[in-house]
Amino acid sequence: MTQTQASQHGPLFFRDRDWHPAAYTPGYKTSMTRAPQRPLVPLGSTLSEETGPAFGQSMIGELDNNLVMNFTGQPAIGERIIMHGRVLDENGRGVPGVLVEMWQANAGGRYRHKKDGYLAPLDPNFGGCGRTLTGPDGRYEFLTIRPGAYPWPNHVNNWRPMHIHWSVFGSGFGQRLITQNYFEGDPLIPLCPIVNTLARQEAIDVLVAALDMNHAIPMDCLAYRFDIVLRGRRQSFFENRKEGM
């Protein structure tokens, strides 16, 4: 956070585990090997989780939030879209100075990663990642390409819906959020095993970016709005005891 921002720090609050996916979800195949095998050990938050890091405008380049142009300086191929929204605290207030990072597949559904073996071609002008800082009211904005869907070896014929990955740093390391958004109207959303780890439809709905024609640019690009809510000073939930500590 910027040094001029007034922010409150304190012990992290409990997390509502009914809202978050279970660690062990057999329908999402890799969770079967990654899920904890023993009860988690409750630990209180420390100063390092409750405060820092500090980010400044000097670390952001002119094209960092323009994924259409920031890889080679030549325009990427695909449907241009604006991704925008606000980073909010648990009381609905905008959080300024938050580092927002994003990464995604290209228009054909392929990542620029050496282990991505999908047969879709790479776009030589698309790197697939960007970053920005939120403004005084918590707003952020990116210009990018709408990513394509792609198959993945979870079961015989599973496909990931179109999505963008997000990393957000709040007022402390304990508030770092890794999430992803989907796109309104995508028929693959209810078929995705990762989406279906969420037990409540409301939790799925907040991960779907809404088409925002008011923010679109005529004859140029559509826009989607995706607000990101930081839970504030919320302590991690421990699966062995709902009461936590």
Which residues are catalytically annotated?
Answer: 111, 150, 160, 163, 165
Q: In whole angstroms, what is the distance from residue 240 CA to residue 245 CA?
A: 10
3-state SS class at 196: helix
Which residue from 102, 234, 99, 81 is spatially nearest to 181, judged by alpha carbons? 102
Query: Which of 223, 222, 244, 226 is closest to 235 using CA atoms?
Result: 244
Q: Are 153 and 173 in contact (CB under 8 A)?
A: no
Radius of gyration for the alpha carbons in the chain, expressed in angstroms and rounded: 19
User: Nearest to residue 168, comparing CAs of 159, 185, 155, 181?
Assistant: 181
